[in-house]
Amino acid sequence: MAIQNKMFADQQKQELFAKAQQYGLDYISKARDRNVFPTEEALTALKQFDGDLPECGDTASAILDLLQEFGTPATISQVAGRYFGFVNGSVVPAALAAKNLSIFWDQNSCLSVMSPICGKLEAVVEKWLITLLGLPEQSVAGFVSGTSMANFCGLAAARYRLLAKQGWDINEQGLFGAPKLRVVTGSHTHSSILKAIALAGFGRGNIEFVDCDDQGRVLADKMPTLDDSTLLILQAGNVNSGAFDPFEKICKTAKEQGTWIHIDGAFGLWAGATKTFGHLTEGYAHADSWAVDGHKTLNTPYDSGIILCADREALASSLHISAPYLSTSNEREGMYYTPEMSRRARIIELWATLKYLGREGIDEMISNMHQRAVQFASLLEKVEGFEVLNDVVFNQVIAQCKSDTLTESVMQEIQKQRVCWVGGSSWKGRKVIRISVCSWATTAEDIELSYQSFVSALRKCLSEETSYTK
Task: State the DSSP string of 204-258.
Answer: GGGEEEE-B-TTS-B-GGGPPP--TTEEEEEEBS-TTT--B--HHHHHHHHHHTT
Q: pLDDT digits over 155-168, tens only? A: 999 999 999 999 99
Q: Which residues pair with 142 in a beta bridge?
A: 307
CATH 1.10.510.10 applies to domain 98-354: no
Taking the whole predicted model, whether its pTM rises above 0.85 is answered as yes
Q: Which residues pair with 289 in a beta bridge?
A: 262, 309
Q: Once rounded to an integer, what is the mean pLDDT over residues 392-400? A: 98
The number of CA neighbours under 13 Å toward the Cβ of 377 is: 23
Q: pLDDT digits over 183-220, tens only? A: 999 999 999 999 999 999 999 999 999 999 999 999 99
Q: Is 125 helix (H, G, I), strand (E, B) or coil?
A: helix
Res 470 pLDDT > 80: no
Q: pLDDT digits over 109-146, tens only? A: 999 889 999 999 999 999 999 999 999 999 999 999 99
- Percentage of the residues of the chain whose pLDDT score is greater than 70: 97
Helices 93-105 and 347-381 cross at an angle (nearest 10°) of 150
pLDDT band for 324, please (50, 70, 90 cuts).
Answer: low
Handedness of CA 245, 248, 253, 256 (dihedral sign): positive
pLDDT band for 323, please (50, 70, 90 cuts).
Answer: low
d(CA 290, CA 192) in angstroms, rounded, equals: 14
pLDDT band for 332, please (50, 70, 90 cuts).
Answer: confident
182-186 vs 230-235, strand pairing mode: parallel
Q: Once rounded to an integer, what is the mean pLDDT over residues 430-443? A: 97
What per-residue string of b and e applies to 17-35 under the rule 16 or more CB within 10 Å gives b?
eebbeebeeeeeeebeebe
Nearest Cα neighbor of 439 from 30, 81, 36 is 81
CA angle 407, 408, 413 (to 5 degrees): 100
Q: Are the beta carbons of 304 and 346 closer than 8 angstroms? A: yes
- The domain locations on the chain are 2-77, 98-354
CA dihedral 235, 236, 242, 245 (to 10 degrees): 60
pLDDT band for 330, please (50, 70, 90 cuts).
Answer: confident
Q: Are the beta carbons of 351 and 330 closer than 8 angstroms? A: no
Residue 271 CB neighbour total at 10 angstroms: 26
Q: Is 283 exposed, middle or buried (0-12, 13-18, 19+ CB in 10 A)?
A: middle
Res 298 pLDDT > 90: yes
Contacts of 440 (CB under 8 A, 6+ apart): 89, 90, 92, 299, 365, 368, 369
Residue 375 is which amino acid?
A: Q
Give me the pLDDT at residue 331, please. 78
Q: Are the beta carbons of 415 and 37 closer than 8 angstroms? A: yes
